[in-house]
Structure 1
Amino acid sequence: MSLEITIDADSATAPYEQLHRQIALEAREGRLPVGYKLPTVRGLAEQLGLAANTVAKAYRALEADGVIETRGRHGSFVAAGDARAREVAAAATAYVERTRRLGLDQQAARAAVEEALRAAYGDPRG
């Protein structure tokens, strides 16, 4: 098994974010199993033609999201646990922080979520 990542240099999305998203998706969908050892920061940077700092930033974000764990000199590994649930919790927390900064109360924040869910999934009432 090998990690296959593609970075689109023409994308408006930053390379570290592209890397973060792709590794998170691979882990969440089980294509990178729990315990899979990721390439070293330097090794992956060379493979992808990126700066080592770019890969390190993506790895730090993945670790903060609970997708990977770093074991010092032993390397970085896909973490055990439900990475998907952690990602959803992080998104919900970010949403709450954003709505508070915008001055919305809980009722308005919930209404916005309900409207977005109806738009994405259809009206559950019929």
Structure 2
Amino acid sequence: MILTIDPGDSRPIYQQVADGIKSLIARGELKEGASLPPVRQIAADLAVNLNTIATAYRELQEEGLITIKHGQGATVCARKPPQKNADDLRKPLRTALTDLILAGLSPTRIRALVADELNDLMRGVK
């Protein structure tokens, strides 16, 4: 499992880790039932605090993407969280699109950006 941390990213490190794992699940690189590396291993690999990785794992567990069993580690539950419906997922998308419109981007440019981001996500490009 390859995760990277971008020091220039405004997101906290735990969020970058959680988002990286979500991306791996979304692309099918981490399948249901797959075991995640131990918190200590990822923390050592990324040279970050154990609590940072533990926070990322807790967030993923709260979102229904992984289960954590003490002494057994973390396991991928499903490709997508079951508790979210389409309307819940549209809200952040609408907010992002509104921000792009307010920034002065044309609908054509916004469509191109969305298509590029989706293609990058599916290919695993950060």
TM range (shorter): 0.5 to 0.7
Q: 2:88 aligns with which of 83, 86, 92?
A: 92
1:34–1:79 Cα contact (<8 Å) kept: yes
* In structure 2, distance between residues paired with 1:29 and 1:84: 14
How many pairs align? Answer: 100
Where does the alignment leave 5 or more consecutive residues of structure 2 unmatched?
Answer: 99-106, 112-126
How many percent of aligned residue pairs carry the same amino acid?
A: 29
Change (3 A) 1:90 1:54: farther
Give, in angstroms, the shift of residue 12 of structure 1: 1.3
Cα offsets for 1:84-109 (capped at 9, x unmatched): 554x549828x5xxxxxxxxxxxxxx
Change (3 A) 1:91 1:24: farther
Q: Which amino acid in structure 2 is aligned with residue 54 of structure 1?
A: T
Secondary structure at 1:83 match in 2: coil
CA RMSD for the aligned pairs?
3.1
* TM, length-normalised to structure 2: 0.66
Structure with more relative contact order (C-alpha pairs < 8 Å, separation 6 or more): 2
1:28–1:84 Cα contact (<8 Å) kept: no
Where does the alignment leave 5 or more consecutive residues of structure 1 unmatched?
Answer: 96-112, 122-126
Secondary structure at 1:76 match in 2: strand
